[in-house]
Amino acid sequence: MSPIPSQAASQRIRPAATAPELLRNFCIIAHIDHGKSTLADRMLQLTGVVEARAMRAQYLDRMDIERERGITIKSQAVRMPWAYIGEDGVEQPFALNMIDTPGHVDFTYEVSRSLAACEGAVLLVDAAQGIEAQTLANLYLALDNDLEIIPVLNKIDLPAAQPEKYAEEIAGLVGVDPSDVLKVSGKTGQGVGELLDRIVQRVPAPVGDPDAPSRAMIFDSVYDTFRGVVTYVRVVDGALNPRERISMMSTRATHELLEIGVISPEPIPTTGLGVGEVGYLITGVKDVRQSKVGDTVTSLHNGATEALSGYSDPKPMVFSGLYPIDGSDYPVLRDALDKLKLNDAALNYEPETSVALGFGFRVGFLGLLHLEIVRERLDREFGLDLISTAPNVIYDVVQEDGSEVHVTNPSEFPGGKIKEVREPIVRATILAPSEFIGAIMELCQTRRGDLLGMDYLSADRVEMRYTLPLAEIVFDFFDHLKSKTRGYASLDYEPSGEQVADLVKVDILLQGEQVDAFSAIVHKDKAYAYGVMMTSKLKDLIPRQQFEVPIQAAVGSRVIARETIRAIRKDVLAKCYGGDISRKRKLLEKQKEGKKRMKTIGRVDVPQEAFIAALSSEQSTKDSKESKKK
């Protein structure tokens, strides 16, 4: 999250805690690309916590992957001083704790944890695009946490901006007058000072008992190679001071506070943290499992007896198997996942084995972008080469005898008679221009969607609500939605229970042997298409053997698709210059017998490259083929 403080920073010890009435805790919430990180940059500059020479774009996006993709993945907390001039003309120094949050639906859990550490939220909307699906989702999250909402229109400097039109949209949504919607530009800095003043005026001061036993909520943590676990907390009651002994209430672990401080925006040690303050703790602990997000920190002596409510555990939406290409990297992968779990509380994993791929982990993700980011971080930060199996969701299978099986992996799908299969469904919200209603309806119907309702936000913008199977939208639904609406549609979804569906397991057989890594659970209507796609893909990827290899796709005992890899044949007739035809036939028959015998004892070895290509998306396979041709 933040680097280790330099020696110079360590010597700048800040005074003890600020009075709660002079604190304001707020976060910035918005849809993807509506300018949260750019607005945060201007706030850092205006309050003077970052010098002009040290300033760079998206200052709080610390990971390389965030800067390359232009998205925020991790929430970042930073403390800023602000001199507010009241109505009486007297200048009053305030401390503002600002949290910059992600915008993508896969990182909603990061947003929910950040909201729990705040009293107010800046709801940011792009003045050229208006309200989008994730804007609504984040607004409802903020309202659930009883936060003070400050509506703001960003990017008013754009030629395509329509501030008056979208100010009315926001006003209708939040229930304020259009004139109360602030208009700012994160790029030029216009209106940012007025926004900070509005935050001081409108966001309530944190409430807590300074004389009660200390209680602080862990809302994030990060592993530092040199200093161990760095824990980020919001103090609710009492105060925490350096060198005191603390206790983690859920794990009962006790530690000494080696360092305590605030992030402004680099870590700066202080002489304590009081009610309502947001800061970091360093205890020198190396075991990542001892700092659990949502846990309550209290003093060891005369500490609190009742823990804070914590956070609801995120439920994984998509599962995928992660296997090291080199089997000896398994312990490294386990340690890497442990460290990522500290930094990413939404990550779930358990060990599993595969006949084809060896030892690995079954990992739960919040979505495909989350999966992609975790894979890339494992590659960059820990140098791991991994194979990931095709993502799938959780199914509940009820057998004829009434027993229920929880299936997170196609290999767990039971054989025999099945009474019903239940799949997870989601409630999806799609916002788009009204001209694309037909295209969106067609797409949702092909994905087994049910229309729940439709509302016009304005004359030319519509909100559509659908119930869709999660398995139908986690793979390429968003890509198809964007292409059908020329990029104007936005999507948000939340879990909405289960439904009974006609699902089957498609097995891929190589020479009659099942390869568990290629199995998939699909709807009965799409089983044939999946079988044809997988068999033809494997035919191109698996090298030819000395004998003929059949590749089959089967549902139960019924084969639904087949491709054959032809055998490599030696030209046994090369030495026959003319002569009797019976001699040639004898040689060919002898070769045929040899091939037949070899087929009965031969085994097909699938190279790792074939696994990687077959389990990746079709597009990436096409790209790799094109690059080979070049």
Distance in angstroms (rounded) separating the CA atoms of residues 319 and 342:
19
Task: Considering only the C-alpha atoms of the chain, give the largest distance between any 2 of them, rounded to a whole number of Å.
Answer: 116
Cis peptide preceding 607, ω within 30 of 0? no
Distance in angstroms (rounded) separating the CA atoms of residues 412 and 80:
52
Q: 529 Cβ partners below 8 Å, 6+ apart?
A: none
Q: Is 403 annotated as a binding residue?
A: no
Distance in angstroms (rounded) separating the CA atoms of residues 90 and 71:
40
Distance in angstroms (rounded) separating the CA atoms of residues 134 and 138:
6
By the 8 A CB rule, do 339 and 288 touch? yes
Q: Is 34 annotated as a binding residue?
A: yes
Burial string for 36-49 (b: 16+ CB within 10 Å, else e) reads bbbbbbbbbbebeb
Q: Is 476 annotated as a binding residue?
A: no
CA geometry: angle 202, 203, 208, nearest 5 deg: 140
Phi, psi of 336 (to 5 degrees): -65, -45
Q: Is 37 annotated as a binding residue?
A: yes
Distance in angstroms (rounded) separating the CA atoms of residues 213 and 201:
30
Q: 263 Cβ partners below 8 Å, 6+ apart?
A: 2, 77, 78, 79, 232, 278, 279, 280
Distance in angstroms (rounded) separating the CA atoms of residues 394 and 392:
7
Q: Is 155 annotated as a binding residue?
A: yes
Give the ranges where 28-92 is alpha helix by DSSP (H): 36-47, 64-69
Dihedral, 2, 95, 278, 76 alpha carbons, nearest 10:
-40
Determine how β-strand 278-282 pairs with β-strand 259-263.
antiparallel
By the 8 A CB rule, do 432 and 489 touch? yes
Q: Which helix (H) or strand (E) covers residue 25, if one does? A: strand 23-30
Q: Is 411 annotated as a binding residue?
A: no
Q: Is 408 annotated as a binding residue?
A: no
Distance of CA 590 to the CA centre of its chain: 59
Q: Is 36 annotated as a binding residue?
A: yes
Q: Is 65 annotated as a binding residue?
A: no
Known binding-site positions for GTP? 33-38, 154-157
Known binding-site positions? 33-38, 154-157
